[in-house]
Amino acid sequence: MNRKKLKETDREIYTTIRKELKRQEEGLEMIPSENFASKAVMEAMGSVMTNKYSEGYPGKRYYAGNEFIDEAENLAIERAKKAFNAAHANVQPYSGSPANAEVYLAVCKQGDTIMGHALPDGGHLTHGWKTSFGGIFFKSIQYHVKADGYIDLEEARRLARENKPKIIWVGASAYPRQFPFREMAEIADEVGAYLVADVAHISGLIIAGVHPSPSPYVHIITTTTHKTLRGPRGAMILVTEKGLKKDPELADKIDKAVFPGLQGGPHDHTTAAIAVALHEAAQPEFTEYAKQIVANAKALASELMNNGLKLVSGGTDTHLILIDLTTIEPGHGIFAQEALETAGITANKNTIPQEPSSPFYPSGVRLGTPALTTRGMKEEEMKQIGKWITAAIKETEAYRLPEDKEQRQETIKKAKADIRRNKALKQIRKEVRELCKKFPLYK
């Protein structure tokens, strides 16, 4: 990608970007919430659309000169509605967490009862966890997963009946199985709650028909646009026909919550890039891509389990895998993440259901296949990557978190230094680089 002017203007930032590009090119990006946007998406992001102010909505702006901004936003809106079979779409949310905050503002009052999937069990921070706005400004009830790693629908039904929440969230950030939209809809309908599907992780899979759509069952859908959808870092809120039947003013309430409720001028360059991503997702090759994401995740999960690693729920239905490292020790995720990064594999430490340690020292590692699939990797590569992941984690088995919390930072610091010198991990990194050369990031 040509950055001649940037190189002339700011060599320090130019050099930093080049280094990040090299890191992405030479490593295996396996954080499931990350992907590689296309050149077309990035061209839209870096376009003159970034120069405009356009508070308001198409045809109802507070500034002049928005004729072509309106054109781009209307394209994004229509493409989003078609992709998700929705009655209304707002494409202005800056990101996923603001989008979820805007849903609260649209349908709740401070102190209302809400219900969501508990964060340590794979849920999202914004679905009512105690340290986020959902848990701070509302009475939050959290449902969990069962011992087998699947959502506990009986608990969710009981909690909904007992607490009568205004909103029920279905969706998560570390849940490897398909979401039970129909079953959650039965629960929400019984107690009169709005059912909101946060499909940030699986939106691309839904559009491609690889994961069931929430549209027939929920009232509102929120999603980011940069994960399996492979677009820019933005978000959308959609209202379904079912949502409008429950509340004919719901679309207007959502729009007012976005602007002027919580946001000012939209990021028009992002809106244009969202339109591009939705256009790309409507092509037949995107369906094949999404199918390959899931096939790769299943192949990787099988390889990890065949090599002795324990996975939450015993596998995956989607793009996401969660390794349970309590077989080594509670809180071991921090050591595994460091070893994987040293080996050229970028993943993230993560809590597991019924986490025996803490979010700061979690017992799991979260992996995903969207970015690897974008590069063209398939099942055969997943088998090799599974072997590398297993080998890298085994290199950390001797490390232990001390019981004394005061000693933990020093222990981790020493362990990280030791891990970075590990010859076996350095050898894996060399092999990872060789694999990556066969699958160039931007041809």
CB distance 235 to 76 below 8 Å: no
Locate 158 and state its tokens: 């009981």
Catalytic (active site) residue 411:
no
Catalytic residue among 61, 81, 166, 227: 227
One-letter amino acid for residue 97 of the chain: S
Crossing angle for the helix pair 67-84 and 268-281, to the nearest 10 degrees: 40
Catalytic residue among 34, 55, 155, 418: 55
Burial level of 431, CB count in 10 A (0-12/13-18/19+)? middle
Catalytic (active site) residue 429:
no
DSSP three-state, residue 80? helix
Catalytic residue among 113, 126, 223, 224: 224
Catalytic residue among 157, 233, 291, 378: 233
Catalytic (active site) residue 316:
no
Q: How would DSSP label each residue in 7-27?
A: HHH-HHHHHHHHHHHHHHHHS
Peptide bond into 260 cis (omega under 30): yes
Catalytic (active site) residue 53:
yes
Over the range 41-65, which residues count as b (16 or more CB within 10 Å of their CB) and which as e?
Answer: bbebbeeebeebebbbbbeebeeee
Catalytic residue among 198, 303, 317, 381: 198
Catalytic (active site) residue 9:
no
Q: Sign of dihedral through CA atoms 197, 201, 206, 212?
A: negative
Strands (DSSP E) found in 128-268: 139-143, 167-170, 194-198, 220-224, 235-239
Closest CA to 246 of 226, 218, 269, 272: 218
Locate 198 and state its tokens: 């946060």
Catalytic residue among 14, 26, 43, 53: 53
Q: Find the helix or strand (DSSP H, E) in which 117 lies.
A: strand 113-117
Closest CA to 105 of 58, 188, 160, 167: 167
Q: Find the helix or strand (DSSP H, E) in which 190 lies.
A: helix 181-191
Closest CA to 214 of 236, 246, 241: 241
Catalytic (active site) residue 177:
no
Annotated catalytic residues are: 53, 55, 198, 224, 227, 233
